[in-house]
Amino acid sequence: MGNKQNYTAKMELTKKHKLAAGLISDRFPKVAGIVLYMTYYQEGVNPILMLRTVNIFPTDSAYFKMECMTKGCIEGGFNLTTPIIDLIKKRKNAGKGELTCRGKHETRSSCRAKISYDIKIKYKK
């Protein structure tokens, strides 16, 4: 029962964050769309955990925190807000980088997961 309550509380909090962030069309009216290409890495024999592509449209929320996909990670994730906003402010079309999860792991002090990301932004004409 506890896991279901934790999941429900987490989803409600995410929903609040998305509402507070507003829509892409309101916050960034010149943006036609954003595509995030991410590679999730973990420690171990198979370091690539997942390849992920996320398409963000003007009607979507301007909430850019991606969850950590490492099993056992607590309160982790990857916040792409700063890199995305920096690109938009400079009106750049693309950017790349890496982020490390700041979450805790249930069996050790830190999560140690990371992502590499490639951001593509298309602007309205």
pLDDT per residue as tens digits for the range 69-85: 888 888 889 999 999 99
Q: Which domain holds residue 84?
A: 22-123
Task: Report the percent of the chain where pLDDT is more than 70.
Answer: 96
- Quote the pLDDT of residue 42: 84
Q: Half-sphere exposure of residue 38, counting CA atoms within 13 Å on the CB side?
A: 27
pLDDT-based confidence at 90, cuts 50/70/90? very high
Q: Within a domain: residue 4? A: no
> Does 92 have pLDDT greater than 80?
yes
> Does 108 have pLDDT greater than 80?
no
pLDDT-based confidence at 67, cuts 50/70/90? confident
Q: Within a domain: residue 17? A: no
- Quote the pLDDT of residue 75: 84
How many H-runs (helices) and E-runs (strands) does the chain carry?
3, 8
Q: Burial-class residue 98 by CB neighbours within 10 Å (0-12, 13-18, 19+).
A: exposed
Q: Within a domain: residue 105? A: yes
- 53 vs 44, 63, 95, CA distance in Å? 23, 16, 15
Q: Within a domain: residue 10? A: no
Q: Within a domain: residue 12? A: no
Per-residue tokens: 99? 């982020």
- Tell me the per-residue pLDDT of 22-48, one tens digit each, with 9 for 90 and over: 999 999 999 999 999 999 998 778 888
- Quote the pLDDT of residue 2: 52
Q: Within a domain: residue 5? A: no
> Does 101 have pLDDT greater than 80?
yes
Q: Within a domain: residue 45? A: yes
Q: Within a domain: residue 42? A: yes
Q: How many domains does the chain have?
A: 1
